[in-house]
Amino acid sequence: LREGDFIARIGGDEFVVFGSAVSEAYSDSRKAIQKRIEDFSKGTFHLGVADIDYEGASVGVVTSEPRMKEPEALLSLADEAMYRVKKARRREQLETDF
């Protein structure tokens, strides 16, 4: 993450990251943040007798709009975005299995 970003565990395997946008190209910024988090969380992890290939965290990224005052609304939107990523990954996996 960048200096000034904030990360916190909100429960289970769910985390939230807060940061400031550096430009008004919000779509590009969201994609860059998503890729950065996915990239640093993926890899092959050696656990004694087993190796696990992990494709990275499922990341939902949203941008706060001036009218959005409730943090719960942002978390809900980020959750929806994360589940879209999970669904797309499952779809890709099914396509490669056949």
Given this model, what pLDDT does residue 10 score? 87
DSSP state of 49: T
pLDDT tens digits, 25-70: 888 888 888 898 899 899 999 999 999 999 888 999 888 877 777 8
Q: Is the pTM of this model over 0.85?
A: no
Q: Looking at the annotation, which residues are catalytic?
A: 13
Higher pLDDT, 21 or 35: 35
Given this model, what pLDDT does residue 98 score? 65
Given this model, what pLDDT does residue 53 score? 92
Given this model, what pLDDT does residue 70 score? 85
Q: Where are the domains of the chain?
A: 6-97
Chain centroid to CA 40 = 11
Is 80 exceeded by the pLDDT of residue 79?
Answer: yes
Q: What percent of the chain has pLDDT over 90?
A: 23
Structure-token pair, residue 3: 């200096």
For the chain, helix, strand, coil in percent to 5 are 45, 20, 35
Is 80 exceeded by the pLDDT of residue 21?
Answer: no
Q: Which of 75, 89, 66, 70 is nearest to 16 (CA)?
A: 75
Distance CA 93, CA 98 (A): 9
